[in-house]
Amino acid sequence: MNKYGLIGHPLGHSMSPLIHEKLFALSGITDYSYELIDIAPENLAESEDMLKQLKGFNITIPHKMAVIPMTDNMDESALRYNSVNCISNDNGIMTGYNTDCFGFVLSAENENLPLDKKVLLLGCGGVGRMIAVELVMHGAELTIAVIPQDIKIAELAVAEIAEKYDNANVKICLVSEIEGSFDLLVNATPVGMYPKCDACAVSDEIIANCGSVFDVIYNPVETLLMKKVRDMGKKAVGGAAMLVYQAVKAHEIWYGGKFKSEDIAEIIRAVEDEVNRMNK
């Protein structure tokens, strides 16, 4: 039996088993297990032998950088962000990947969001930095808006991007000083996440000046930001699709899995249904 899993700490309730079980089922694979493996940071190093018994595993906070020494190879996607969220074990050779970036791009492109236009990105933490790079790679005119205590983080990220991408068109501003109109607004902050669902990262005026919205949050299924956008008759995409697509990429890596778009859409709906059920 091939063993797979998700490592992180604390894990709490995770959508990963639901998503991966459905992907294995679509592939006709029954001889497997997928487990949640809660590993405290201080116990990660001593867990290496156990993890090397797995055929593949996903990685979430706080281990995305700490697992790098366990890898024998790093895919370009992992090198790009110095962050690993998926490892494949090929006869003892551990290769690290970053499938979060694929999850963002695939879910956004599937909804025809304008990644190459004028984009306002809220937040520049781990996922925000990854999205910033992807937007620059797609040719976006990017504005990163952050709160005052995150200015240094944003400046460091922009410096790294400018060093790697000659054509980077990026500027930084405070959320309180956002000006102008944008084709796309991306929320990469936790503002609006369950259980604080009555929070919105930006004002109605800023939302009105944006053509469409991508919110990385998947719980709740519809954040207050997304509701405001839809009430204005504009497109809003939540984070469930990104979550599913990054898992789809893991299955492509682990054993060459291939999936139909309609099957992926069904899994996204299942995730959203489960989130709604949990929140009742």
212 shares its domain with 255:
no
Q: Residue 103 above 90 pLDDT?
A: yes
Predicted TM-score (pTM) of the model is 0.93
Average pLDDT in the chain: 96
Question: Does residue 82 or residue 199 have the better pLDDT?
Answer: 199
165 shares its domain with 217:
yes
- C-alpha–C-alpha distance, residues 23 and 8, integer Å: 21
128 shares its domain with 228:
yes
Q: Residue 12 above 90 pLDDT?
A: no
Q: Is 64 a catalytic residue?
A: yes
Of the residues 22, 52, 64, 258, only one is catalytic, namely 64
**CATH code at 64?**
3.40.50.10860
pLDDT of residue 126: 85
Q: How confident is the model at residue 165 (pLDDT cuts 50, 70, 90)?
A: very high
Q: Which residues contact 275 (CB under 8 A, 6 or more apart)?
A: 15, 218, 219, 220, 221, 240
272 shares its domain with 162:
no
Say how many domains are in the chain. Answer: 2
68 shares its domain with 124:
no
pLDDT of residue 280: 86
Reduced to 3 states (helix: H, G, I; strand: E, B; else coil), residue 36 is strand
Pull the structure tokens for residue 100. Answer: 């979060």
229 shares its domain with 266:
no
Give residue-wise pLDDT tens across range 68-88: 999 999 999 999 998 999 999
109 shares its domain with 233:
yes
Pull the structure tokens for residue 121. Answer: 């990105």
Q: How confident is the model at residue 34 (pLDDT cuts 50, 70, 90)?
A: very high
Range of the domain at 214: 102-238
| pLDDT cut 90: percent of the chain above it | 97
Reduced to 3 states (helix: H, G, I; strand: E, B; else coil), residue 80 is helix
192 shares its domain with 89:
no
